Structure 1
């Protein structure tokens, strides 16, 4: 007869097993004839002997509960056995017809002995169906108790040494258990070297943090200085050492300040910008070269740049002839007289002239009319061709912007060079801004070979003075009429071969937009600044008499 709770694979149930007791089993369906066992009360069946209720040497108060768990797992195990052998599974509370092995009770002193065999080491695992309660893991298969969660805090004998500083291991563990020894062995290996490395890492971290704090402090100070502090500045008028600083045209205060800082004149750009703003005339600093002292205060630098004596520049005035400009360049560059003129004659083709310039072999100076009026840097050590090239470049850009080729056709002139030549005449003969447009009309009217007043002769004193290199308004008729130079417009019809000076912007605009009032004549009646115009020769004669009276002739 099969004993209840003694089926195949059944084992003693240890009192310390977490599933021991009546918890968790009250909800299971009892087998027929076993209701008392599920209730924890001993059962008495006539066909059974009393000894069938003894399960090893355990106490009487635990037999019922053990029998309940034993019978439940017996049912599950037998069901597995039948299913694994192809037999009809346990059904309706009855036992199947197949045979099965009978397990012997092990020695009570070793409650887990032969457990591997009892749980069918060669049998497949069918626990895990939705209706089956997960069985306890047999002792031979039970995993070691999981280690407690690891944290960054090691409550070891060093009383609170952080894992970061301790090298991550407890190298003096005395745990004799397998798991304890494993942990101790893992943590103990190389702990001293790890601690040394951790010490180095700690030092590096401290150094990095120190550098970061220092950097934040420095940049914070810089930020404060930039936003709220006065900009760095020298004091006084500077040292005895001087430097030449070239300021480009159209430079803003920040650009000027940068140039001065690079030359060692001022200590900071901000200091110069502030000083320039504080000075009422600060915005009038012009382009050019300046002789300044090193390590000047920004305010002193602004004052010195406003003083003409510090300006190492060449100023080209409207209407000024090239010969005068060459002499000024020689003086500024401290060169011997005639040096710049010689360079102009030899290197004019490499200085950036427009393609239509110098188209007449009788031109006296190819650069005449192309040294644009303005201020140019000219300091000792610079080459004269560099100064000249800057002037020519400015003129070429201006003329290109005005589209002189198209304007020449509209004005019935042969080429753009003749436009510049007319503008140079207007600049030389006019005295005021109001004169320029009338003077331009006089030129165009007299160039007409069919006009009944001059028949193509300009008869300008300025052209004769140019060829003579003079500025004389008292020229005898005999001297003029005897000279046949191409630039003598008393004896040669039409325009001179080229410009006779460097026209300014106002004269050029007037040349492109003359009046249309019929002017053919003009006379500087006071010989200086007052010019009057006439349409006929008779009117001209009256103006000439007026001039003679004012000059004592």
Structure 2
């Protein structure tokens, strides 16, 4: 059978198909002859011209369509195209006005509705239930009686929350019942199975509301306590039990209060903060270690921390030598004299010194490798602590500061070999300068005397401070005979250049002056009053005048 048999692909033709009447092309034409709008009368139309082979080409939108010819009764005939004859039948033939109905074009492969009759506005007749139906309807005597519907008791409708509505099991049951209805062919929906009921849902509701009320009550109480009730606090000056509390640098009131609470000193951080704000000077509490009592009132704790007697700290002052720092640590830790110094000599490589401080060319001549690395400040030092722990804090602070100042990058710009020499210069400035205004001039004196072109002192610094460091003294009246007879590398009267290492711990002002000296040509200086008044000179003649002024003030 060719594709023109049905006009719907390659489906086989059936002799009882209602669309083909008596089976075949003639039967189809018989149906066409009874189209509405004609009154059963034949219609005559003039012969339409043909246009050669153009109608046979596969043109877009036209397929194999041709103009029709007409039979003796006026029905259009399509040569070799039963599909067009079928479409003529399906679309009602000709209308009452004698005009030709719409002839459909070939379906667009991209149109999903191209094969649907509705897409062209036509409707196909429903043959089911008629004599032409295929397969024929079953006679009434042979039809099976429909089963009676089962009586299912109706349930009282419940809210889905209490019946377990929405459960997955119920959904699966519903799908199964729907499948059974389809198989029975009945439209009546069977009653749902009995759902689980439980009192747990009610209990959950009660617990949720009860818990919410409890939470509101609790947070409301806490809000009241924080806003209106006084903070928990002890009374009195505390017990006889003492405790040491370490306060780190930069700690605020809440941090201090929490540390005191953890140590058992105060009852709450809130009480301490309130007392700190109420007491004059309370916000000036510094970092350090404090010896306090347990269970003190917040006000008593604040007052005690402001008392220097309670502060278990070691204070390093600008220019202070390491020898004095060691002694202070021994006293605070209640250790035997010399304990901290011995620890420093044995463990200095493990205390955090930078590499450029350990690898200096003067290492064999340095009296104390840690000199210059106890940065001025306040450090906790309470009984029970170990010396090395305190020394590590000091070295760490100095290393951090020196890195921040950029000593490594700036040392060469100043004509020095390494940052260790820059720390040494700063220690000299700190030791010889008396005031802040002296520091930059003193730094220029050092740099000018170190220059190879210095013919005034021939690269000799000639500082009394270096000789005093060597002797462990602070004497400004030193005879020339004594100085010139000592050949130690720290004696800058007999050795050119810098001493092997720093002679003290420089402060921030001295370090900044060493990094930014004046450029006025200063090369001499004299403390003319023997104390704080330092005067500077650019020539040897000016220096002699300053020396005479000093002798006159000192009675020499």
TM-score, length of structure 2 as denominator length = 0.66
Change (3 A) 1:535 1:213: same
Shift of 1:473: 0.9
Counterparts of 1:20-419 in structure 2, within 5 Å, are: 122-123=144-145, 141-144=148-151, 146-151=153-158, 213-358=213-358, 359=360, 360=362, 361-419=364-422
What is residue 457 of structure 2 aligned with on the other side?
454
The more displaced of 229-238 and 426-435 is 229-238
Change (3 A) 1:214 1:486: same
| 1:59-93: CA deviation from partner (whole Å, max 9, x where unpaired) | xxxxxxxxxxxxxxxxxxxx98999999899xxxx
- Structure 2 CA distance, aligned partners of 1:80 and 1:493? 129
Q: Secondary structure at the match of 2:411?
A: helix
What is residue 547 of structure 1 aligned with on the other side?
550
- Structure 1 CA distance, aligned partners of 2:241 and 2:414? 56
Shift of 1:514: 0.7
- Structure 2 CA distance, aligned partners of 1:237 and 1:320? 37
5+ residue gaps in structure 1?
1-78, 90-97, 102-119, 124-137, 153-161, 165-182
Equivalent pair of 2:265/2:292 in contact (CA under 8 Å): yes
Shift of 1:407: 1.2
- Structure 1 CA distance, aligned partners of 2:516 and 2:378? 27
What is residue 71 of structure 1 aligned with on the other side?
none
Q: When the two structures are aligned, how many residues end up with a matched partner?
A: 398
Shift of 1:238: 1.9
- Structure 2 CA distance, aligned partners of 1:275 and 1:455? 63
1:471 aligns with 2:474: yes
What is residue 519 of structure 2 aligned with on the other side?
516
Shift of 1:426: 0.3
Shift of 1:387: 0.2
- Structure 2 CA distance, aligned partners of 1:398 and 1:209? 60
- Structure 1 CA distance, aligned partners of 2:489 and 2:135? 134
Report the RMSD for the aligned CA atoms in angstroms. Answer: 3.2
- Structure 1 CA distance, aligned partners of 2:440 and 2:133? 123
Change (3 A) 1:527 1:121: same
Q: Secondary structure at the match of 1:466?
A: helix
- Structure 1 CA distance, aligned partners of 2:268 and 2:389? 30
The structure with the larger Rg is 1
506, 513, 527: which is aligned to 1:503?
506
Change (3 A) 1:163 1:357: closer
431, 437, 441: which is aligned to 1:438?
441
- Structure 2 CA distance, aligned partners of 1:532 and 1:316? 28
| 1:338-368: CA deviation from partner (whole Å, max 9, x where unpaired) | 0000010000001110111041210000000
The more displaced of 525-534 and 312-321 is 525-534
What is residue 532 of structure 1 aligned with on the other side?
535
- Structure 2 CA distance, aligned partners of 1:403 and 1:438? 21
- Structure 2 CA distance, aligned partners of 1:499 and 1:440? 14
Shift of 1:279: 3.0
Change (3 A) 1:85 1:482: closer
Shift of 1:476: 1.2
- Structure 1 CA distance, aligned partners of 2:151 and 2:132? 31
Shift of 1:236: 2.4
- Structure 1 CA distance, aligned partners of 2:136 and 2:454? 140
What is residue 39 of structure 1 aligned with on the other side?
none
The more displaced of 518-527 and 329-338 is 518-527
- Structure 1 CA distance, aligned partners of 2:510 and 2:136? 125
The more displaced of 400-409 and 274-283 is 274-283
| 1:260-282: CA deviation from partner (whole Å, max 9, x where unpaired) | 12111122222222322233322
426, 432, 436: which is aligned to 1:423?
426
| 1:211-252: CA deviation from partner (whole Å, max 9, x where unpaired) | 654443222211222234333222222222111111111122
Q: Secondary structure at the match of 1:357?
A: helix
Change (3 A) 1:122 1:321: same
What is residue 176 of structure 1 aligned with on the other side?
none
Equivalent pair of 2:129/2:137 in contact (CA under 8 Å): no
- Structure 1 CA distance, aligned partners of 2:493 and 2:450? 13
The more displaced of 342-351 and 209-218 is 209-218
5+ residue gaps in structure 2?
1-127, 165-190
